[in-house]
Each structure stands twice: as C-alpha cells, then as structure tokens.
Structure 1
Amino acid sequence: MSDTNDSQKIIDCPHCGKAISATSEKCPYCQKEINQQPEQSQEDNKTKKLNIKKILFIAYAVLSVFVILGLYNSLSSAKMRNENLQKKIEAYQYDIDDYKDTIKDLKKQLAEKEDYESKYNELNSQLDNYKDQQATINDQNNKLTEIQSQYDSLQSERDNLQQQVDAKKAAEEQAARAAQQQQWEQESQSNEETVYWVAGGECYHSSPNCATLKRSSNIVSGSVSSAGGRRPCKVCH
C-alpha cells in the first residue's frame, strides 16, 4: 500500500528541479541518479515547503516594503509634483496678471490710436480743405499775374503816350517860344533903329555914310539885335 502511494508521489529532481516520481532512481530528464531515501525526501519536502513559505513571506514582506516605499515615493513625488504644479499655477497667475496689465495697456494704446486716427482724419480733412484753398489761391495768383501783366502793358502804353504827349507838348511849347521869339524880334526890329555893318566887320554903324565905310562894299542893314553881337562904331555913335 505504501509502495503504491510512493509511486504516485511526485518530487522535484534535486539536480534539475523538474517534477518526477518519488520512486524514480534516475531522473528521466537530466539522467542523474536520485540518491535520496523516502523519509529524507518527505522531510526535505517539508523543509522545502517551509523554506518556500519563508521565502514567500520574506518576498511578500519585501514586496510590501517596496510597495510601501513605492507608495511613499509616489506620494512624495505626487506631493512634489503638486508643489511644482502649485508653483507653476502661481507663476501662471503672475503671468495672467501681467497679461491683464498688458491687455489694459493695449486697450489704452488702442483708445489712443483711435484718438490719433480721429485727429489724423481731421487733419487730412483740413489738409484737403487747405489744398482746395491753395488751388483757389494759385488760380487767383495766376489771374493776378495776368492782370499785373496787363497793367504793366497798359502802364507801358501810358508811358509811351505820355512821352508822345510830353514830346508834342514840348514841341508845341518850343514852337510857341520860337513864334514868340520871332514876334519879339519883329517887335524889337520895328522898335530898334536900323544899323549898318559889313561882313567880317566888328562894328555896326548908324549911317552907311560913316567915314569908316567909305571903302567898304556889300553893306548890310538891320536891327541892333540882328547885328550879331557887333559893337557900336566909335566914329558914328
């Protein structure tokens, strides 16, 4: 009965560790002899089981320690990550505040830009109006230049006419003076005595019978004013 139970019992080969029959004298796998007695095999099995249990317990304990350490590390890492995340959140909050300030500045700049654009459009409108006024001024200046040219032309014609009038007036005055001079000469001749002189002579004479004219021929007669500035003769005057 015991032989039957032993034949059915399975043990591990002490050499290769594979499961074989407890009655086997030689391992069918590694072909090595099994030199263990049955009682020793049972004790060994019990020892092995105890060792396995101890190993499992130790492994479980070590695993538990590792798990605990892992959890602790995970918690620590999670805590650090949480702290880092909190720091990042605070940094982001600072950035958000900065962005808000930047947005306010941009809105202010946008409002100023719109104000500038409004002023720019107003200045453009004034500039267009100025250009229109400048065009009108230029047109008026052109007309003024044309009128000035016409005025200068009329002034030149007036000066020419004035010169002609002055020349005509001077000629008339000269003619009047000449006529008056002639009239005066005629009146003077009619009032003055008749005197006598010869060409090349220096004196005029009151009578053609003056002793100084006895040898002279071509005796000329006329008034004293027409005697050509000759002096009176000392003999007959």
Structure 2
Amino acid sequence: MMMNLFSSFDPSSNLGLSLNWTSTLIGLLVIPPMFWVIPSRLSMFWTKIIFTLHTEFKILIVNKFQGSTLIFVSLFSLILFNNFLGLFPYIFTSTSHMTLTLALALPLWLSFMIYGWINNTIHMFAHLVPQGTPAVLMPFMVCIETISNIIRPGTLAVRLSANMIAGHLLMTLLGNTGPSLSLLMMNILLITQILLLILESAVSIIQSYVFAILSTLYSSEVN
C-alpha cells in the first residue's frame, strides 16, 4: 500500500518515460537566461556589442563628455528592439511610422542645433561655407548648406520608416498571393519569403546602426 502510494512520484511512472523531470526546466524558462546564468552567452554577446559601439562612437564624438555615447547606444538598442519585434507576426512595427522616427530624430537634431549656435556660433557659421569655396558661390553654398541642415531630421526619419515599410510591404504582397498558387509555386514562394525574412533581419540591424551613427556624426559637427 505504502509502496504503491510513493510510486506515483517515480519519474518513470508516466507512459514508461521520464517526463516528470521536464517540469524542473519550466521555472528556468520563465526567468530570462541573461540573469540566471552569469555571465550567459546572451549577456556576453550584448555586452560585446555595446562596448564595440561605445568605442566607435567615442572616436566620432569630438566633445568628450562623460557618458556621451550612452544616448546613442541606447538609441541603437531601442530601434533594433523595435525593428526585430516587427518581424514577428501580428506585432505592430512602430519604427515604420513617422510618428516614432521623427520623434527620435527631431529632438536630437534640435538639441544639437541649440547647443551649437549658443556655444559655438562662429564654428556653426563656418560650417555653412565649405573650405575652398569661391567667393562667387558663397551665397549659394550658404543656402544649400542651410537647407541640407534643416532636412536632416526628416531624412533620418524617412530613411528608417521607408526601409521598414518596404520590406514588410513586399512580404505582405507576396504572402497574399499564396492561396492562388500551385504547389510548386507555393514552395518557391515559401523559399522567397524565408530569404526576404533574412534580408529584413539584416535591414533591421543596418538601419538601427545607420540612424545611430548619423546622429553621432551630426553631433560631432556642432563642436
């Protein structure tokens, strides 16, 4: 009687398999691996990315404020996280809308301009006329440089949102043609969609890096 009672705790009691031990791993799935293994491969990989970006941004930023690269590394992380979330089904891609991208680019550009024109006014005026420009072309160069400076936040926002929209739109259009295709064409379409998904993953990384690196370059020009 007692032996039969405790036999219910035997790991091999269910269908002759040791499936009871799998319940031990359920708790580990709830806790993020970045915290329950120190240092985990994920945390080491992410730390390596952050330090690489910090080293690169530190070279580009002329004004050596303590922790000045933190804002650009955080910007890269935010955009990368949102870009990758958009690759999952039924998840809204926030970076494909100008509401978010312009909200990221405009305050950065505006803060750079305010800081530059208040603290380095002569330097900002010198940026409007490239070195070696003939005197006749100076008024035109001032207009061109001013316009190119003003449209910078727009180009940053449009570049990111347009690249996100283009890939997702292409995948959606190809996916909608699936039910009307034959079995052979369906297999070709599936392979194409997988390749497009890999391409979109690369675009997500590249566009977040481009946004962060261009913001860093714009900040270095105001010093």
Question: TM above 0.5, one fold?
Answer: no
Q: TM-score range by the shorter chain?
A: under 0.3
TM-score using structure 2 length: 0.20
Please state which structure has a larger fraction of its residues in strand: 1
Which structure's CA Rg is the greater one?
A: 1
Q: Which has the higher contact order (CA 8 A, sep 6+)?
A: 2
TM-score using structure 1 length: 0.19
Please state which structure has a larger fraction of its residues in helix: 2
